[in-house]
Amino acid sequence: MADAAVLPAPIAKKVPGRFWIVPPAALLALLFFYPLVLIVQQAFMDDSGMANVGEFVRVLHARFFLNALINTITISVAATAGCLIVGLVLGLILAFVPFPGSGVIARLIDTFIALPTFLVTLAFTFLYGSAGMLNAGLMEAFSLQAPPVNFLYSTWGVVLAEVTVYSPFVLRPLLAAFSLVDRGQIEAASVLGARPFRIVRQVILPAAVPALIAGGSLCLLLTVNEFGIVLFIGAKGVITLPLLIYSKAIQESAYQVACIIAVINIALSLGLFGLYRFAAGRLGA
Amino acid sequence: MSVPAFTGSNVMDVDAAKIRGAGSNVHFDKVSVAYGAHVVLHPLTLDIAPGEILAMIGPSGSGKTTALRAVAGFVRPASGRIRIGATDVTDLPPYERGLGMVVQNYALFPHMRVEDNVAFGLRAQGADKALIGERVKDSLATVGMSGFAKRYPRELSGGQQQRVAIARALAVRPRVLLLDEPLSALDAQIRRNMVEEIAKLHRDLPGLTILYVTHDQTEALTLADKIAIMRDGRVSSHGPTAELYRRPPNRFTAEFLGRANLLPVTVTEGATGPKGFAKAKLGDALLAGAARGEKPGDKTLLCIRPQHLSLTGDEEHTNRIVGTLKEVHWQGELTHLVLDVDGTPVRVSATRLPVSLPERGSVVPLFFAPGDTSLVPEDARG
């Protein structure tokens, strides 16, 4: 007992874990939160450093802002709808139509995610631009004086480019969801008399809803903030929020207006990101 | 909520006559299936009569599921034709074949309630609302699941889900019901109950033709009118269940369908007497067994099931062999003994044993009746 009494009490090991939060938190604050705070501060203060909500309200009612907001929403909603349709059709084919090389095609489509967005726009310019292959061919074939295909320099040109770039973002989670669909359910439905369209509608799609929401909200998020494609196409009159921020800040040096629009853009993005995380959580991503 | 068994009384309550008489025959006419150069089902010719349960059993890769999937329309035969009733279905898509199918993992639609699962096939076939309501009610009552119509599959146990899968298949009044290892995902106790309940179901729906694929011989023996034993993509044997069990035509059938002791014997005398028993020698022992046209001098196998061997003889158990007792395994209802008889391990399953069991290593006589034996040709291919 005496020996036991003199034994030193076990020393609790120090847990250093809690201090590791400091470096990343500091880095995040320096590179992300501080600039963000500056933007918000700039949005609500005038040049004399006084709080001023009046300018914020004025921008909210300005024609240029409303046009940009409508353009942004129109393009992102149309592009997201396009991505959902293209992604869904491609996903169904790749997952459920057995053909040799489907895996290679899926991986090839995946590589689009790795490419810079302007690359597709550049390719579109070569294909569908005023001096592109399509117009040149049509002008030569029909002896036309002006290029007949002009959609690229419109809202729809931007939408098409965004659909091309962002469809893989829908396709990837859809393929993951389709791989989890029990083939036995499809076979049982088929034996019970269901034709392929009914099986897609009533058996496959309900299982893919979280993937569609996750992919769709990610597309919406990315297309709302898309800058490169819109700038590269340079469509006349197609000004979106990111492009408006760029033009106000860089071309007109109207920093407060740029910051006000940026704050609204950030709020929009965070809302969509919340939707994406919720859907991704449902999917188990 | 407790689940009533889907008994005859359930069926009678819901007018089972509506389901009866729906069965068609299935005819495989030289049906083969190949994946590239690999033949998984060699030309198969087989008939399933209307209202019959045919169990296809065999080890993994024997071609039994492939044959079922060919009937369902998921596998395209490389050659041959499949007829269901008078219809050649070989080129028809699955949704035009008029079948019902139940698979191992139930394959219920997880986002639909039980009633919607059962109604799925009827809706797909464009049935009117009143008929759908009536059929859903009937089918759920048939499998004793009426109280679960509003539940989702995830709220049911495995056995309950399988009942719903059966109800869903029955609701469309299939010409043939395809059961692909339907009980494999269930635990032993529930599986035993479900086998009995499927047997009852078929007694109440005698017109229903069933193709039952399983690797479980007990399910096959309990349920099937006929059994086809598959091996390496071919039918190794086919016939009435009891006949195949009692008189297996080859070693593979004898060993696959129930446990069998196969003793190498030499025939000394062909079939004689009113019962047609042949005589054969095993070492010094002269044994009588049910013959299959063997001639004196033929080397063959004497098949005797473990439960037909006894440690005590009587006027019926006239065949006698001796062996050295090697193992004794007590399993409650049964005691399994393993003996060495001339170098061949012989298993005995006994419900009753002498009060004093012989010691391991002691020489023990075994008795069996000639009528419980069968001579089986020694055939490496089975």
Q: How many CB atoms within 10 Å of residue B3?
A: 16
Per DSSP bridges, beta strands B53-57 and B226-231 are parallel
The pLDDT mean for chain B works out to: 86
B358 and B231 Cβ atoms separated by less than 8 Å: no
Per CB-CB distance under 8 Å, the chain A contacts of B93 are: 190
In whole angstroms, give the CA distance from residue A142 to residue B116: 58
Query: Given this model, what pLDDT does residue A76 score?
Result: 94
In whole angstroms, give the CA distance from residue B215 to residue B220: 8
Phi/psi of residue B103, nearest 5 degrees: -115, 170
A8 touches chain B (CB under 8 A): no
CATH architecture of A62-284: Orthogonal Bundle (1.10)
Phi/psi of residue B136, nearest 5 degrees: -60, -45
A174 Cβ partners below 8 Å, 6+ apart? A87, A88, A91, A95, A208, A211, A212, A215
Q: Based on C-alpha coordinates, what's the Rg of chain A?
A: 26
Query: Given this model, what pLDDT does residue A149 score?
Result: 85
Instruction: Decide which of B359 and A191 is more confident.
Output: A191
Best probe of the A interface among B35, B89, B92, B95, by most A CBs < 10 A, is B95
Of B73, B98, B120, the CB nearest to A189: B120
Do A193 and B124 lie within an 8 Å CB cutoff? Answer: yes
B212 and B56 Cβ atoms separated by less than 8 Å: yes
Q: How many CB atoms within 10 Å of residue B35?
A: 10
The 10s digit of each residue's pLDDT in B251-296 is: 999 988 888 999 999 888 877 766 778 888 887 788 888 877 788 8
Q: How many CA atoms lie within 13 A of B102 on its CB side?
A: 29
Per CB-CB distance under 8 Å, the chain B contacts of A188 are: 101, 103, 107, 165, 168
Token representation of residue A274: 């919340």
B121 touches chain A (CB under 8 A): yes
> Closest approach of chain A CAs to the CA of B174, in angstroms?
9
Phi/psi of residue A50, nearest 5 degrees: -95, 145
Per CB-CB distance under 8 Å, the chain B contacts of A206 are: 109, 111
Do B120 and A207 lie within an 8 Å CB cutoff? Answer: no
Do A192 and B172 lie within an 8 Å CB cutoff? Answer: yes
Q: How confident is the model at residue B355 (pLDDT cuts 50, 70, 90)?
A: low
B294 Cβ partners below 8 Å, 6+ apart? B267, B270, B271, B278, B280, B300, B375
- Bridge partners, residue B339, by sequence: B325, B346
B121 and A192 Cβ atoms separated by less than 8 Å: yes
> Closest approach of chain B CAs to the CA of A199, in angstroms?
9
Of B96, B107, B110, the CB nearest to A188: B107
Of A14-18, A77-81, B123-127, B228-232, which gets the smallest average pLDDT? A14-18
Residue of A nearest to B165 (CA): A188
In whole angstroms, give the CA distance from residue B291 to residue B376: 9
| Residue owning tokens 């297309």 | A223
A198 touches chain B (CB under 8 A): yes
Query: Given this model, what pLDDT does residue A14 score?
Result: 63
Q: Is B157 left (phi over 0), alpha (psi -120 to 50) or beta?
A: beta
The full set of domain ranges for chain A reads: 1-43, 62-284
Best probe of the B interface among A191, A200, A204, by most B CBs < 10 A, is A191
Q: Based on C-alpha coordinates, what's the Rg of chain B?
A: 24
B148 touches chain A (CB under 8 A): no
- Bridge partners, residue B367, by sequence: B310, B320
Residue of B nearest to A203 (CA): B109
A193 and A265 Cβ atoms separated by less than 8 Å: no
Long-range contacts of B198-204 (CB under 8 A, 24+ apart): B198/B166, B198/B223, B199/B223, B200/B5, B200/B6, B200/B7, B200/B8, B201/B6, B201/B11, B201/B142, B201/B143, B201/B166, B202/B53, B203/B8, B204/B8, B204/B11, B204/B12, B204/B16, B204/B142
Cα B75 → chain centroid: 23
B313 Cβ partners below 8 Å, 6+ apart? B320, B365, B367
Per CB-CB distance under 8 Å, the chain A contacts of B105 are: 182, 184
Best probe of the A interface among B35, B102, B103, B164, by most A CBs < 10 A, is B103
Query: Given this model, what pLDDT does residue A283 score?
Result: 60
Torsion sign (Cα): A179, A180, A182, A187: negative
A201 touches chain B (CB under 8 A): no
| Residue owning tokens 């020393």 | A11
Percent of chain B with pLDDT over 70: 92
Do B73 and A203 lie within an 8 Å CB cutoff? Answer: no
In whole angstroms, give the CA distance from residue B221 to residue B218: 5
Query: Given this model, what pLDDT does residue B154 score?
Result: 94
pLDDT at residue B23 tops 80:
no
Q: What is the DSSP string of B39-60?
A: EEEEEEEEEE-TT-EEEEE-ST
Work out the end-to-end distance of chain B between its first and last CA atoms, rounded to an integer number of angstroms. 49
Per CB-CB distance under 8 Å, the chain B contacts of A203 are: 109
> Closest approach of chain A CAs to the CA of B93, in angstroms?
8
B99 touches chain A (CB under 8 A): yes
DSSP annotation of B76 reads: -
Per CB-CB distance under 8 Å, the chain A contacts of B165 are: 188
Query: Given this model, what pLDDT does residue B13 score?
Result: 36
| Residue owning tokens 């061949």 | B344
| Residue owning tokens 């300005």 | A62
pTM of model > 0.80: no
A205 touches chain B (CB under 8 A): no
> Closest approach of chain B CAs to the CA of A280, in angstroms?
19
B168 touches chain A (CB under 8 A): yes
Looking at the predicted complex, does its ipTM rise above 0.90?
no
If you count residue pairs, one on A and one on B, with CB atoms under 8 Å apart, how many are there?
69
Instruction: Decide which of A11 and B176 is more confident.
Output: B176
- Each residue's pLDDT tens digit in chain A (285 positions)? 444 455 666 666 666 677 888 888 899 888 888 988 988 888 888 777 788 888 889 998 999 999 999 999 999 999 999 999 999 999 999 999 878 888 888 888 878 778 888 888 888 888 888 888 998 999 989 988 888 888 888 888 999 999 999 999 999 899 999 999 999 999 999 999 999 999 999 999 998 988 898 889 889 989 999 998 898 888 778 899 999 999 999 988 888 899 999 999 999 888 888 877 887 776 654
Please list the alpha-helical segments (H only) found in A45-62. Answer: 54-61
How would you class B60 by CB atoms within 10 Å of its CB: exposed for 0-12, middle for 13-18, buried for 19 or more?
exposed
**E-strand stretches of A102-182:** none
Q: How many CA atoms lie within 13 A of A71 on its CB side?
A: 25
Q: How confident is the model at residue B316 (pLDDT cuts 50, 70, 90)?
A: confident
Token representation of residue A137: 């061919």
